[in-house]
Amino acid sequence: MRLRELGKSGLEVSEIGLGCMGMSHGFGLPKDEQEMISLIHGAIDRGVTFFDTAEMYGPFINEILVGKALAPYRDRVVIATKFGFEFDASGKPTGDVNSRPEHIRQVAEASLQRLGTSTIDLLYQHRVDPDVPIEEVAGAVKELIREGKVRHFGLSEAGVQNIRRAHKVQPVTALQSEYSLWWREPEEHILPVLEELGIGFVAFSPLGKGFLTGKIDETTQFAPNDFRNSVPRFAEENRAANQALVDLLKRVAGEKGVTPAQLALAWLLAQKPWIVPIPGTTKIHRLEENLAAADVELSVDDLREIADAASRVQVVGARYGESSQRLIDR
Protein backbone atom coordinates (compact mmCIF):
# COMPACT_ATOMS: atom_id res chain seq x y z
CA MET A 1 0.00 0.00 0.00
CA ARG A 2 1.52 3.30 -1.10
CA LEU A 3 1.35 6.46 0.99
CA ARG A 4 -0.19 9.82 0.15
CA GLU A 5 0.46 13.19 1.76
CA LEU A 6 -2.67 15.05 2.78
CA GLY A 7 -2.13 18.33 0.97
CA LYS A 8 1.13 19.97 1.98
CA SER A 9 0.78 19.14 5.66
CA GLY A 10 3.49 16.53 5.92
CA LEU A 11 0.93 14.01 7.19
CA GLU A 12 1.32 10.80 5.19
CA VAL A 13 -1.33 8.07 5.24
CA SER A 14 -2.09 4.94 3.25
CA GLU A 15 -3.70 5.84 -0.08
CA ILE A 16 -6.84 4.01 1.05
CA GLY A 17 -7.91 4.34 4.68
CA LEU A 18 -10.55 2.54 6.71
CA GLY A 19 -13.73 4.24 7.82
CA CYS A 20 -14.74 2.55 11.07
CA MET A 21 -18.18 4.09 11.63
CA GLY A 22 -20.18 1.13 10.32
CA MET A 23 -18.63 -1.19 12.88
CA SER A 24 -20.60 0.55 15.64
CA HIS A 25 -23.07 2.96 14.10
CA GLY A 26 -25.38 3.75 11.23
CA PHE A 27 -25.84 0.41 9.48
CA GLY A 28 -27.78 -1.63 12.03
CA LEU A 29 -26.64 -3.02 15.36
CA PRO A 30 -22.97 -2.71 16.43
CA LYS A 31 -20.87 -5.59 15.23
CA ASP A 32 -18.97 -8.00 17.47
CA GLU A 33 -16.03 -6.18 19.01
CA GLN A 34 -13.50 -8.98 18.64
CA GLU A 35 -14.45 -9.54 15.01
CA MET A 36 -13.99 -5.84 14.29
CA ILE A 37 -10.65 -5.75 16.09
CA SER A 38 -9.55 -8.66 13.90
CA LEU A 39 -10.73 -6.76 10.82
CA ILE A 40 -8.75 -3.67 11.81
CA HIS A 41 -5.68 -5.83 12.40
CA GLY A 42 -6.25 -7.36 8.98
CA ALA A 43 -6.25 -3.89 7.49
CA ILE A 44 -2.94 -3.08 9.17
CA ASP A 45 -1.45 -6.33 7.88
CA ARG A 46 -2.46 -5.23 4.37
CA GLY A 47 -0.80 -1.83 4.67
CA VAL A 48 -3.58 0.46 5.91
CA THR A 49 -2.27 3.16 8.24
CA PHE A 50 -5.24 5.58 8.34
CA PHE A 51 -8.26 4.92 10.55
CA ASP A 52 -11.31 7.15 10.92
CA THR A 53 -13.66 7.36 13.89
CA ALA A 54 -15.69 9.96 15.86
CA GLU A 55 -17.27 10.45 19.26
CA MET A 56 -20.63 10.44 17.46
CA TYR A 57 -20.22 6.87 16.23
CA GLY A 58 -22.10 4.74 18.70
CA PRO A 59 -21.97 7.26 20.32
CA PHE A 60 -18.55 6.81 21.90
CA ILE A 61 -18.14 3.04 21.51
CA ASN A 62 -16.43 3.25 18.13
CA GLU A 63 -13.56 5.29 19.55
CA ILE A 64 -13.13 2.68 22.29
CA LEU A 65 -13.11 -0.11 19.70
CA VAL A 66 -10.61 1.67 17.47
CA GLY A 67 -8.40 2.52 20.44
CA LYS A 68 -8.29 -1.11 21.58
CA ALA A 69 -7.55 -2.39 18.10
CA LEU A 70 -4.79 0.10 17.34
CA ALA A 71 -3.04 0.09 20.72
CA PRO A 72 -0.41 -2.50 19.72
CA TYR A 73 0.34 -0.59 16.51
CA ARG A 74 0.03 3.00 17.74
CA ASP A 75 3.36 4.20 16.36
CA ARG A 76 2.50 2.83 12.88
CA VAL A 77 -0.95 4.33 12.36
CA VAL A 78 -2.78 7.63 12.00
CA ILE A 79 -5.99 8.04 13.99
CA ALA A 80 -8.58 10.63 12.96
CA THR A 81 -11.55 11.50 15.13
CA LYS A 82 -14.12 14.32 15.33
CA PHE A 83 -15.88 16.74 17.66
CA GLY A 84 -18.87 18.98 17.19
CA PHE A 85 -22.14 17.38 18.28
CA GLU A 86 -24.19 17.85 21.41
CA PHE A 87 -25.30 14.99 23.67
CA ASP A 88 -27.79 14.91 26.54
CA ALA A 89 -27.00 13.72 30.07
CA SER A 90 -27.55 10.09 29.06
CA GLY A 91 -25.12 10.34 26.13
CA LYS A 92 -27.81 10.42 23.45
CA PRO A 93 -27.27 12.82 20.52
CA THR A 94 -29.59 15.82 20.63
CA GLY A 95 -29.25 16.56 16.93
CA ASP A 96 -27.59 19.90 17.68
CA VAL A 97 -24.02 20.96 16.99
CA ASN A 98 -21.62 22.40 19.55
CA SER A 99 -18.19 23.76 18.69
CA ARG A 100 -17.70 26.14 21.58
CA PRO A 101 -14.00 26.20 22.48
CA GLU A 102 -14.58 24.80 25.99
CA HIS A 103 -16.62 21.95 24.47
CA ILE A 104 -13.89 21.18 21.94
CA ARG A 105 -11.40 20.78 24.78
CA GLN A 106 -13.77 18.53 26.74
CA VAL A 107 -14.35 16.32 23.71
CA ALA A 108 -10.65 16.11 22.89
CA GLU A 109 -9.81 15.04 26.43
CA ALA A 110 -12.57 12.43 26.41
CA SER A 111 -11.54 11.13 22.98
CA LEU A 112 -7.93 10.77 24.13
CA GLN A 113 -9.15 8.63 27.03
CA ARG A 114 -11.40 6.46 24.86
CA LEU A 115 -8.72 6.00 22.21
CA GLY A 116 -6.10 5.23 24.85
CA THR A 117 -3.57 7.58 23.32
CA SER A 118 -1.71 10.74 24.27
CA THR A 119 -2.18 12.45 20.89
CA ILE A 120 -4.93 12.59 18.28
CA ASP A 121 -3.27 12.63 14.87
CA LEU A 122 -6.09 14.42 13.04
CA LEU A 123 -8.97 16.15 14.81
CA TYR A 124 -11.89 17.25 12.64
CA GLN A 125 -14.78 19.57 13.34
CA HIS A 126 -17.57 17.13 12.43
CA ARG A 127 -19.97 19.81 11.22
CA VAL A 128 -19.69 23.59 11.09
CA ASP A 129 -21.41 25.29 14.01
CA PRO A 130 -23.21 28.41 12.73
CA ASP A 131 -23.23 29.89 16.24
CA VAL A 132 -19.46 29.76 16.75
CA PRO A 133 -17.11 31.70 14.44
CA ILE A 134 -14.82 29.26 12.66
CA GLU A 135 -11.84 31.35 13.82
CA GLU A 136 -12.67 30.42 17.43
CA VAL A 137 -12.89 26.75 16.46
CA ALA A 138 -9.53 26.86 14.69
CA GLY A 139 -8.03 28.73 17.63
CA ALA A 140 -9.22 26.11 20.10
CA VAL A 141 -7.66 23.31 18.06
CA LYS A 142 -4.50 25.38 17.61
CA GLU A 143 -4.14 25.48 21.38
CA LEU A 144 -4.56 21.70 21.60
CA ILE A 145 -1.86 21.34 18.94
CA ARG A 146 0.46 23.59 20.97
CA GLU A 147 -0.12 21.33 23.97
CA GLY A 148 0.73 18.21 21.97
CA LYS A 149 -2.72 16.68 22.38
CA VAL A 150 -3.53 17.02 18.66
CA ARG A 151 -1.21 16.93 15.65
CA HIS A 152 -3.40 18.15 12.78
CA PHE A 153 -6.66 20.07 12.29
CA GLY A 154 -9.42 19.05 9.90
CA LEU A 155 -12.89 20.11 8.82
CA SER A 156 -15.82 18.02 7.61
CA GLU A 157 -18.54 19.12 5.18
CA ALA A 158 -17.30 22.72 5.40
CA GLY A 159 -17.88 25.27 2.67
CA VAL A 160 -15.30 27.38 0.87
CA GLN A 161 -15.50 30.49 3.04
CA ASN A 162 -15.16 28.61 6.32
CA ILE A 163 -12.25 26.62 4.95
CA ARG A 164 -10.43 29.82 4.03
CA ARG A 165 -11.19 31.53 7.35
CA ALA A 166 -10.15 28.55 9.46
CA HIS A 167 -6.95 28.02 7.47
CA LYS A 168 -5.78 31.56 8.27
CA VAL A 169 -5.86 30.80 12.00
CA GLN A 170 -4.65 27.19 12.00
CA PRO A 171 -3.58 25.43 8.80
CA VAL A 172 -6.18 22.86 7.83
CA THR A 173 -4.60 19.51 7.01
CA ALA A 174 -7.65 17.86 5.47
CA LEU A 175 -11.27 18.36 4.57
CA GLN A 176 -13.40 15.26 4.97
CA SER A 177 -16.55 15.26 2.85
CA GLU A 178 -18.55 12.94 0.67
CA TYR A 179 -17.16 12.39 -2.82
CA SER A 180 -17.80 9.62 -5.30
CA LEU A 181 -19.11 9.03 -8.80
CA TRP A 182 -22.61 9.67 -7.52
CA TRP A 183 -21.75 12.80 -5.54
CA ARG A 184 -19.37 15.01 -7.50
CA GLU A 185 -20.30 18.42 -6.12
CA PRO A 186 -16.85 18.96 -4.50
CA GLU A 187 -15.30 19.20 -7.96
CA GLU A 188 -16.85 22.58 -8.71
CA HIS A 189 -15.68 24.77 -5.83
CA ILE A 190 -14.12 22.70 -3.04
CA LEU A 191 -11.29 20.87 -4.81
CA PRO A 192 -9.84 24.01 -6.46
CA VAL A 193 -9.67 25.78 -3.08
CA LEU A 194 -8.05 22.78 -1.41
CA GLU A 195 -5.45 22.63 -4.16
CA GLU A 196 -4.78 26.36 -3.84
CA LEU A 197 -4.31 26.15 -0.07
CA GLY A 198 -2.47 22.82 0.04
CA ILE A 199 -5.20 20.96 1.95
CA GLY A 200 -5.85 17.24 1.54
CA PHE A 201 -9.24 15.68 0.83
CA VAL A 202 -10.51 12.63 2.70
CA ALA A 203 -13.46 11.15 0.83
CA PHE A 204 -16.09 9.41 2.93
CA SER A 205 -18.80 7.26 1.35
CA PRO A 206 -16.58 6.74 -1.73
CA LEU A 207 -18.81 3.80 -2.66
CA GLY A 208 -22.04 5.74 -2.24
CA LYS A 209 -22.91 4.17 1.12
CA GLY A 210 -22.68 0.78 -0.56
CA PHE A 211 -24.74 1.57 -3.64
CA LEU A 212 -21.82 1.68 -6.08
CA THR A 213 -20.77 -1.86 -5.17
CA GLY A 214 -23.67 -3.18 -7.25
CA LYS A 215 -24.93 -5.22 -4.29
CA ILE A 216 -27.95 -2.96 -3.60
CA ASP A 217 -31.05 -2.54 -5.74
CA GLU A 218 -34.67 -1.45 -5.27
CA THR A 219 -35.55 -4.76 -3.59
CA THR A 220 -32.86 -4.50 -0.88
CA GLN A 221 -34.23 -4.37 2.67
CA PHE A 222 -32.18 -2.46 5.23
CA ALA A 223 -32.16 -3.13 8.97
CA PRO A 224 -34.71 -1.03 10.90
CA ASN A 225 -31.99 1.15 12.44
CA ASP A 226 -29.97 1.54 9.22
CA PHE A 227 -29.71 5.28 8.51
CA ARG A 228 -30.17 4.69 4.77
CA ASN A 229 -33.89 4.17 5.49
CA SER A 230 -34.11 7.94 5.99
CA VAL A 231 -31.92 8.97 3.04
CA PRO A 232 -34.01 10.10 0.04
CA ARG A 233 -31.46 8.75 -2.42
CA PHE A 234 -32.14 5.27 -1.02
CA ALA A 235 -35.92 5.43 -1.41
CA GLU A 236 -37.04 2.42 -3.43
CA GLU A 237 -38.04 4.40 -6.51
CA ASN A 238 -34.79 6.40 -6.42
CA ARG A 239 -32.68 3.26 -6.15
CA ALA A 240 -34.41 1.96 -9.26
CA ALA A 241 -33.64 5.20 -11.11
CA ASN A 242 -30.05 5.32 -9.89
CA GLN A 243 -29.39 1.78 -11.08
CA ALA A 244 -28.26 3.31 -14.38
CA LEU A 245 -25.04 4.51 -12.75
CA VAL A 246 -24.34 1.07 -11.29
CA ASP A 247 -25.02 -0.53 -14.67
CA LEU A 248 -22.42 1.80 -16.18
CA LEU A 249 -19.87 0.86 -13.52
CA LYS A 250 -20.54 -2.84 -14.02
CA ARG A 251 -20.01 -2.55 -17.77
CA VAL A 252 -16.71 -0.67 -17.54
CA ALA A 253 -15.51 -2.79 -14.60
CA GLY A 254 -16.23 -5.94 -16.57
CA GLU A 255 -14.11 -4.64 -19.43
CA LYS A 256 -11.25 -3.95 -17.02
CA GLY A 257 -11.60 -7.25 -15.14
CA VAL A 258 -12.32 -5.57 -11.81
CA THR A 259 -15.36 -5.11 -9.57
CA PRO A 260 -17.60 -2.01 -9.62
CA ALA A 261 -16.32 -1.07 -6.16
CA GLN A 262 -12.71 -1.28 -7.30
CA LEU A 263 -13.45 0.83 -10.36
CA ALA A 264 -15.22 3.49 -8.28
CA LEU A 265 -12.30 3.70 -5.83
CA ALA A 266 -9.67 3.68 -8.59
CA TRP A 267 -11.51 6.53 -10.31
CA LEU A 268 -11.43 8.53 -7.08
CA LEU A 269 -7.73 7.87 -6.49
CA ALA A 270 -6.98 9.08 -10.01
CA GLN A 271 -8.60 12.50 -9.50
CA LYS A 272 -5.88 14.07 -7.33
CA PRO A 273 -2.76 12.69 -5.60
CA TRP A 274 -3.89 14.26 -2.31
CA ILE A 275 -7.32 12.57 -2.20
CA VAL A 276 -7.64 9.61 0.18
CA PRO A 277 -10.86 7.56 0.24
CA ILE A 278 -11.92 5.86 3.47
CA PRO A 279 -14.38 3.11 2.51
CA GLY A 280 -15.90 1.32 5.45
CA THR A 281 -16.62 -2.37 5.77
CA THR A 282 -17.22 -5.04 8.40
CA LYS A 283 -16.14 -7.97 6.18
CA ILE A 284 -12.58 -9.05 5.49
CA HIS A 285 -13.30 -10.05 1.86
CA ARG A 286 -14.74 -6.59 1.17
CA LEU A 287 -11.67 -5.02 2.80
CA GLU A 288 -9.44 -7.02 0.45
CA GLU A 289 -11.59 -6.06 -2.53
CA ASN A 290 -11.44 -2.36 -1.65
CA LEU A 291 -7.70 -2.28 -1.04
CA ALA A 292 -7.03 -4.00 -4.36
CA ALA A 293 -8.40 -0.88 -6.04
CA ALA A 294 -5.05 0.78 -5.35
CA ASP A 295 -3.54 -1.47 -8.01
CA VAL A 296 -6.15 -0.74 -10.69
CA GLU A 297 -4.65 1.43 -13.41
CA LEU A 298 -6.99 3.68 -15.35
CA SER A 299 -5.78 5.41 -18.50
CA VAL A 300 -6.70 8.94 -19.48
CA ASP A 301 -9.16 7.43 -21.95
CA ASP A 302 -10.66 5.21 -19.23
CA LEU A 303 -11.15 8.19 -16.94
CA ARG A 304 -12.68 10.26 -19.73
CA GLU A 305 -15.07 7.45 -20.66
CA ILE A 306 -16.20 6.94 -17.07
CA ALA A 307 -16.65 10.67 -16.44
CA ASP A 308 -18.49 11.28 -19.70
CA ALA A 309 -20.82 8.34 -19.21
CA ALA A 310 -21.47 9.18 -15.55
CA SER A 311 -22.25 12.81 -16.40
CA ARG A 312 -25.12 11.60 -18.58
CA VAL A 313 -26.71 9.73 -15.68
CA GLN A 314 -28.95 11.90 -13.50
CA VAL A 315 -28.69 10.73 -9.90
CA VAL A 316 -32.05 11.03 -8.15
CA GLY A 317 -32.66 11.91 -4.49
CA ALA A 318 -30.95 14.01 -1.82
CA ARG A 319 -27.91 12.44 -0.15
CA TYR A 320 -29.14 13.27 3.37
CA GLY A 321 -32.44 13.39 5.19
CA GLU A 322 -33.74 16.82 6.17
CA SER A 323 -32.31 16.85 9.71
CA SER A 324 -28.79 16.04 8.48
CA GLN A 325 -29.01 18.21 5.38
CA ARG A 326 -29.44 21.34 7.49
CA LEU A 327 -26.00 20.80 8.99
CA ILE A 328 -24.16 21.03 5.66
CA ASP A 329 -22.16 24.22 5.31
CA ARG A 330 -22.31 26.12 2.04
Tell me how far apart the alpha carbons of residues 51 and 62 are, in angstroms, rounded to a whole number.
Answer: 11
Q: Where are the domains of the chain?
A: 3-207+271-296
CA nearest 182: which of 242, 235, 232? 242
CA dihedral 152, 158, 162, 163 (to 10 degrees): 50
pLDDT for 312 equals: 87
Percent of the chain with pLDDT over 90: 94
pLDDT for 330 equals: 74
232, 43 in Cβ contact below 8 A? no
C-alpha distances in Å from residue 44, one per residue of 38, 41, 89, 242, 283: 10, 5, 36, 34, 14
pLDDT for 71 equals: 98
Residue 308's pLDDT band (boundaries 50, 70, 90)?
A: confident
Q: What is the mean pLDDT of residues 91-116?
A: 97
| Residues in the chain, overall count | 330
Residue 262's pLDDT band (boundaries 50, 70, 90)?
A: very high
**Catalytic residue annotation:** 57
Tell me how far apart the alpha carbons of residues 144 and 226 are, in angstroms, rounded to a whole number.
Answer: 35
pLDDT for 328 equals: 86
Mean pLDDT of all residues belonging to the chain: 96
Task: Write the class of the CATH domain 3-207+271-296.
Answer: alpha beta
CA nearest 40: which of 71, 1, 4, 2? 71
126, 329 in Cβ contact below 8 A? no
Q: What is the H or E stretch that residue 191 is in?
A: helix 190-197
Q: Is the pLDDT of residue 263 over 90?
A: yes
Residue range 152-189, pLDDT digits in tens: 999 999 999 999 999 999 999 999 999 999 999 999 99
Tell me how far apart the alpha carbons of residues 266 and 257 are, in angstroms, rounded to a whole number.
Answer: 13
Residue 325's pLDDT band (boundaries 50, 70, 90)?
A: confident
Q: Is the pLDDT of residue 226 over 90?
A: yes
Residue 327's pLDDT band (boundaries 50, 70, 90)?
A: confident
Identity (one letter) of the amino acid at 108? A
**How wide is the angle at C-alpha 230 spanned by C-alphas 227 and 231, nearest 5°?**
90
Residue range 51-98, pLDDT digits in tens: 999 999 999 999 999 999 999 999 999 999 999 999 999 999 999 999
C-alpha distances in Å from residue 71, one per residue of 67, 118, 172: 6, 11, 26
C-alpha distances in Å from residue 224, one per residue of 180, 229, 234, 300: 26, 8, 14, 43
